[in-house]
């Protein structure tokens, strides 16, 4: 695995905007109320933040990219975020299925993968190796069907296994480009697949899209309490950022493995101890 960042087909270097500086501030201040908030620069959590004066004066609220996002997104009728506080619960699978289902109904659909560090959409859709092309009107999505276009950083990596180790402002810059430079044309639905949690990608996508419109979020969980506990945090994130929750998907709810099949050759499930020794028989007797 390489730790080098990929060479993106960008026409201009990403310059740090006021927004990007804010993202930088958030990296050191997890209790940031957000530069768009009424309390920006005035909240107790703002004390010592390098952006305090620009937030308090309202200067930080204005990012020229917001207008560009608004322009591009004016051609998109509905924008739906797929979120979860928990990793591996099926956000990307659900996003892809939702995109296919809407496309099958004859809708014009875009699927945007903003999971910058773990983009799984290209692999899930069998699009590994496809590249994004740039034209005068912007980056062209990769089309899996005539009415289903896909955009992901996965298309821009020189090697599929390359690791992307980016800090907040750089992720913010790429998400901004995804929203301003991708030529989706007219869309009925833009489905946005996100990474787990409520991190840089979520804050960026919400800030930029709120200048335009977000119909709401679909929150994905699995039935286990460890997943639901994190998903509750995601619901709080939606509440705080004013995004309507359109629904909660309880994924993998029907996946059950009979205890009797554990240890059987066909089930492939075995218990091992810390040394790797097989303790399946012993465990099943407990």
Residues near ligand SF4 (CB under 6 A): 22, 25, 29, 32-35, 40-41, 43, 45-46, 49, 51-52, 55
The reply to whether 152 sits near Mg ion by the rule CB under 5 A is no
Nearer to ligand ATP, 188 or 250 (CB): 250
Considering only the stretches 73-81, 115-123, 253-261, 271-279, report the one whose residues sit in contact with Mg ion under the rule CB under 5 A.
Answer: 115-123
Residue 130 · residue 122 · CB < 8 Å: yes
Among 33, 46, 76, 89, binds ligand ATP (CB under 6 A): 89
By CB under 6 A, tell whether 91 contacts ligand ATP.
yes
Alpha-carbon span 196 to 202, nearest angstrom:
9
Cβ proximity of 150 and 121 under 8 Å: yes
198 is an interface residue for Mg ion by CB under 5 A? no
CA 152 vs CA 21, 122, 142, 162: distances in Å: 24, 7, 9, 14
Rounded to a whole number of angstroms, the minimum distance from the CB of residue 107 to ligand SF4 is: 38
Residue ranges in 95-124 that form contacts with ligand ATP under rule CB under 6 A: 115, 118, 120
> Least distance (Å) from ligand SF4 to the CB of residue 31?
7
Rounded to whole angstroms, the Cα distance separating 155 from 134 reads 12
Q: Is 251 in the site for ligand ATP (CB under 6 A)?
A: yes
Burial pattern 173-210, b for ≥16 Cβ within 10 A else e, equals: bbbbbbbbbbbbeebbbbbbbbbbbbbbbbbbbbbbbe
Find the shortest distance in angstroms from Cβ 214 to ligand SF4: 21
Q: How far is the CB of 235 from ligand SF4 (least distance, A)?
A: 22
Joined together, the tokens standing for residue 160 give 């599929």
Nearer to ligand ATP among residue 211 and residue 245 (C-beta): 245
**SS3 call for 193:** strand
Return the number of the residue (45 or 224) whose C-beta is nearest ligand SF4. Answer: 45
Which of 252, 262, 270, 271 touches ligand ATP by CB under 6 A?
Answer: 252
Residue ranges of alpha helices (H) inside the chain are 18-28, 52-57, 64-73, 91-104, 121-124, 168-181, 200-210, 225-241, 280-284
The string over 40-65, giving b where at least 16 C-beta atoms fall within 10 Å of a residue's C-beta and e elsewhere, is bbebeebeebebbebbeeeebbebeb
Binding site for ligand ATP (CB under 6 A): 84, 87-93, 115, 118, 120, 195-196, 251-252, 255
| Chain contacts with Mg ion (rule: CB under 5 A) | 91-92, 120
């Amino acid at each position: 695995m390489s730790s080098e960042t990929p060479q993106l087909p960008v026409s201009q270097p990403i310059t740090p905007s006021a927004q990007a500086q804010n993202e930088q501030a958030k990296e050191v201040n997890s209790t940031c109320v957000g530069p768009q908030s009424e309390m920006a620069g005035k909240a107790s959590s703002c004390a010592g933040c390098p952006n305090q004066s620009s937030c308090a004066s309202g200067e930080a609220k204005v990012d020229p990219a917001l207008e560009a996002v608004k322009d591009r997104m004016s051609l998109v009728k509905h924008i739906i975020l797929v979120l979860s506080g928990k990793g591996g619960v099926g956000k990307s699978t659900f996003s892809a299925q939702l995109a296919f289902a809407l496309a099958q109904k004859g809708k014009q659909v875009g699927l945007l993968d903003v999971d910058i560090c773990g983009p799984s959409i290209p692999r899930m859709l069998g699009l590994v190796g496809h590249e994004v092309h740039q034209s005068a009107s912007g980056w062209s999505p990769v089309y899996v069907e005539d009415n289903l276009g896909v955009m992901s950083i996965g298309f821009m990596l020189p090697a599929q296994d390359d690791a992307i180790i980016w800090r907040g402002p750089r992720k913010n810059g790429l998400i901004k480009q995804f929203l301003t430079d991708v030529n989706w044309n007219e869309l009925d639905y833009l489905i946005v697949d996100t990474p787990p949690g409520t991190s840089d990608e979520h804050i960026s996508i919400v800030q930029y899209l709120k200048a335009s419109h977000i119909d709401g979020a679909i929150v994905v969980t699995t039935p286990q309490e460890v997943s639901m506990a994190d998903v509750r945090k995601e619901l709080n994130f939606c509440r705080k950022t004013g995004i309507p929750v359109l629904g909660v998907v309880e994924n993998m709810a029907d996946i059950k493995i009979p205890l009797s099949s554990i240890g059987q050759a066909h089930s492939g499930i075995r218990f091992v101890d810390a040394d790797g020794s097989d303790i399946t028989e012993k465990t099943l007797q407990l």
